[in-house]
Homo-oligomer: A and B are copies of this chain.
Amino acid sequence: MDLELIRGLAVPATTKIVLLSADGLGGFPHPETGRSELETARIPHLDALARRAACGLLRHVGPGITPGSGPGHLGLFGYDPLRYQVGRGVLEALGIDFELRPGDIAARGNFCTVDAEGRITDRRAGRIPTSRCVELVDRLRKIRLPDVELHVEPVKEHRFVLVLRGQGLAGRVTETDPQATGTPPVPARALAPEAERTATLVNRFVEEARPLLADATPANMLLLRGFDQRPALPRVPEVFGLRAAAIAAYPMYRGLARLVGMDVLKTGATFAEEVQTLAAHWDAYDFFFLHYKDTDQAGEDGDFPGKVAALERLDVELPGIEARRPDVLVVTGDHASPAILKGHSWHPVPVLLVAPYAAPDSVERFTERACGVGSLGTLPAHHLMPLVMANAGRLTKFGA
């Protein structure tokens, strides 16, 4: 199913939609208890919602495919993540709230360690502290290249972002990271004629950086990868006819929402503040994307009790969202992050949808297992948005 189809069927309405994405929501049973994080947590509000909801499982990319947060959220926003891909450099820039302009080329940078012969000995420079990254980025900011504006921004530990801004740049450039140690960084190559100049500029940047970093062991060299331009994605207001707002404490999720044309609302660092932001802007928008980060963080840290606690903290805030009386309320996530796997996983993610014409099914708890037998079945994440639109009375009939 295609966004063009939805665009053709979307009709105006006054209904309100809330899409709550609990990052890395899905989990996996703990070997000692046989219960997942959701099955362990006390989440009375989510369970009560599940009883009033149509439930199911979302698969964001495909069976067995572990989604990154970018494709995971694009799926939730209604975009087939295999069709609409966003480069790593772009996601990294979004992640530090860097406002990429159309035409900008973004790359993800790593400080690395090279030996006296220039061969890489550590691709992550021993994960230097972020404060050191900031100092070294400052050195790189001295580099000047002809007819192009350079932006170098620290991210975290050994990671930074490089942005080239100017006319006639192109992202089809190979990475300088050989993805191996014992070998020197490789020059960037153009994958298309229009990227020749960009590749030349990237290689000059690397050569100018070399002497600036020479005394900075272990971070005495750099690697660049994921060159890409901000993609021109269809915009939520035009495809779905929604005045859409994003409320997210973390920059990457604000950036993703901006990529699809949502307004990004200023909010605080906690989820309680996000819920306050929702209340404050309730009248101005039709669609709210709310992002909750703590679940993923605990999952990635392998902190099972931490993830359980994060779910319980989320549950407490649900009444504040329900108090707005959205016409359609969806709770789900962008991918699973089981604590026992210490990272994202391929497991499908629970989803609940509460709306007047979404009949409650037999599901009584908001867990992986319970939602697995829900009436929505297991569906591709990008099929959720049309369902949400229909339940919001915002899609007309297809065909006569």
Interfacial chain B residues near A62, Cβ < 8 Å: 1, 5, 383, 386
List which A345-369 residues lie within 8 A (CB) of chain B.
Answer: 345-347, 357, 359, 361, 368-369
Binds B, one of A66-74, A266-274, A277-285: A66-74
A85 within 8 A of B: yes
Binary B-proximity of A55-93 (CB < 8 A = 1, otherwise 0)? 000000111111111111000000001100110100110
Interfacial chain B residues near A395, Cβ < 8 Å: 64-66, 346
Query: Which of these, B63, B70, B397, contacts A400 with CB under 8 Å?
Result: B70
Q: Counting chain B CB atoms within 10 Å of each CB, which of A68, A372, A383 scores highest? A: A372
- A88 vs B396: C-alpha distance when bound (angstroms): 14
Interface residues of A (CB under 8 A from B): 1-2, 5, 9, 28-29, 61-72, 81-82, 85-86, 88, 91-92, 226, 338, 341, 343-347, 357, 359, 361, 368-369, 372-373, 375, 377-379, 383-391, 395-400
19 contacts between A and B (CB under 8 A): A1-B65, A1-B82, A2-B82, A5-B82, A28-B359, A61-B398, A63-B383, A64-B383, A64-B387, A64-B391, A65-B390, A65-B395, A66-B398, A68-B398, A71-B399, A72-B399, A88-B399, A226-B400, A343-B397
User: Measured between C-beta atoms, what is the minimum distance from A26 to chain B in Å?
Assistant: 11
- A387 vs B378: C-alpha distance when bound (angstroms): 15
Interfacial chain B residues near A361, Cβ < 8 Å: 369, 372
Interfacial chain B residues near A400, Cβ < 8 Å: 68-70, 88, 91-92, 226
Give how many copies assemble into the complex.
2
Interfacial chain B residues near A346, Cβ < 8 Å: 387, 390, 395
CB pair A398–B67 under 8 Å, yes or no, is yes
CB pair B375–A372 under 8 Å, yes or no, is yes
Residue of B nearest to A90 (CB): B400
User: Measured between C-beta atoms, what is the minimum distance from A86 to chain B in Å?
Assistant: 7
Interfacial chain B residues near A372, Cβ < 8 Å: 361, 375
Interfacial chain B residues near A1, Cβ < 8 Å: 61-63, 65, 82
User: Measured between C-beta atoms, what is the minimum distance from A41 to chain B in Å?
Assistant: 17
Interfacial chain B residues near A387, Cβ < 8 Å: 63-64, 346
Residue of B nearest to A397 (CB): B66
Interfacial chain B residues near A368, Cβ < 8 Å: 359
A1-B82, A369-B361, A373-B373 are known contacts. Are A399 and B70 too (CB-CB below 8 A)? yes
A372-B361, A400-B69, A400-B91 are known contacts. Are A64 and B390 too (CB-CB below 8 A)? yes
A361-B369, A372-B361 are known contacts. Are A399 and B63 too (CB-CB below 8 A)? no
